Amino acid sequence: MYVFVYPITKLYDVVIVGAGLSGLQAAHYIQAAGFSVCILEVTDRVVGKTLTVKSSKKGYNDLGAAWVNDTNQSGIFKLHQRYGLDGVVQYTRGDDILESGEGVIRKIPYGWPLTGLARKLMIILRDESSRMDLDDPKGFPEAKEVDNMTLDEFCVDRSGSQNAVHMADAISSGLLGVDSVEVSALYMLYYFNSGRGIDNLLSDEKDGAHYLRTRQGTQTIARKMADELDKSDIFLGVPVTSISQSHDDSPCVVQTLDGISFSCRRVIVSIPTNLYQSISSYPPLPQAKRVLSNHTIMGNNTWSELSKGDRFNQAWEQFCRCFGKFVKDIPKPYNTLEMEWSKEPYFFGAPCPAMTPGLLTTVGTDLAAPHGKVHFIGTETSTVWRGYMEGAIRAGQRGAAEVATALQED
């Protein structure tokens, strides 16, 4: 239970807008550095895009961020260990059943080497993304040309086959929930390298992005992080409407929808990029930030426009069509769980905002740049494991370190 007493006169060192993993990590860092901090969260929970629901007396299901690994995701895995959570290795034995864009259904052993066009395209994407400097994406060879191409155009151009579109769609929709015709090819190469390579991003095995699930659910991490902070400094259900700052030593003022003002020396914004302009800024956000807010996109599958019953029927029909070719009796599920992140008013999709063509080489490097005394975090601002819980933790640490340094110099 969070104490909800509005501070009217208290001057905080830092106000954090957003109580997801990135905001919570920043709060821990700021507090450990000896500064006062409060968190303002628009929803009624401190979890961001982690959401765990109980499925039975003994089981939990994650409807948001779900996987960690114990080798190259050091930030989130340290929290996993700190809170005594149990990792469950992703099941990888058996066969994969695949349906191609042309409707061809086939079965292959899990981990079976790719062949033909799929192998050729994976080699291209692996090699091209490995050339990406995560600190200088504009230094990529022919950066502007590649940035102005969509992923499907890039895959067709480099592979020489129009059929590469199907694989491009599978990759972009699987990783970001967007179609390959929407997202910049350069941004996707950046995203691959951010996750330690495309093979790693698509892997369910050791070192891969989908190696370990959390038996207690990943939302447990955010809850336990919040429990270690002073509950009187966490405010839920508080929409922030404006952030004001001056060029002198006057405090920043963060205004909420119900007219309450929070004063502070620095502000950390931990909300999705596409929501930046939902908060009025004085002085206004730089043009680069406004462009990013208006032109980044979130995962939003078309089939979410169908009714819940129609979605189930379509998924079940494909399930039966694919498995029915190899299995005689297919048991019907006793329950289905959904979370439509695209319809959540303060998220509008998942897992993180992606860049459309032309953004990365023009304004992409401004994503994490401070605006005066206002700093920006969130998984999409991380250079490592962007879009994942690890990216959120690292971004929180980076932004908090910026703020702590600035406060010490003030």
Binding site, residues?
22, 240, 380
Binding residues for FAD, as ranges, are 22, 240, 380
β-strand pairing of 212-214 with 67-68? antiparallel
SS3 108: strand
Report DSSP letters for 273-312, one per residue. GGGGGGSEEESPPPHHHHHHHHHEE----GGGGS-HHHHH
Residues in the chain, total? 410
Residue bearing tokens 């020396």:
265
Which among 379, 319, 401 has a CA at the least distance from the CA of 73? 379
Packing angle, helices 164-176 and 185-194, rounded to 10:
60
Packed helices 116-130 and 151-159: angle between N→C axes, nearest 10 degrees:
110
Per-residue HEC secondary structure of 320-382 comes to HHHHCCCCCCCCCCCCCCCCCHHHCCCCCCCCCCEECCCCCCCCHHHCCCCECCEEECCHHHC
Tell me which DSSP letter residue 226 carries: H
Mapping DSSP to helix (H, G, I), strand (E, B) and coil, where does residue 268 land? strand
C-alpha dist (Å) from residue 389 to 48, 90, 124, 365: 10, 17, 27, 21
Q: What is the DSSP pairing of strand 252-256 with strand 261-269?
A: antiparallel
Handedness of CA 121, 126, 131, 137 (dihedral sign): positive
Q: Which residue has the tokens 């499925």?
A: 55
Contact assessment for residue 193 and residue 130, using Cβ atoms and an 8 Å cutoff: yes
C-alpha span between 32 and 48 (Å, rounded) = 22
Burial of residue 223, with CB atoms counted within 10 A of its CB: 0-12 exposed, 13-18 middle, 19 or more buried: middle
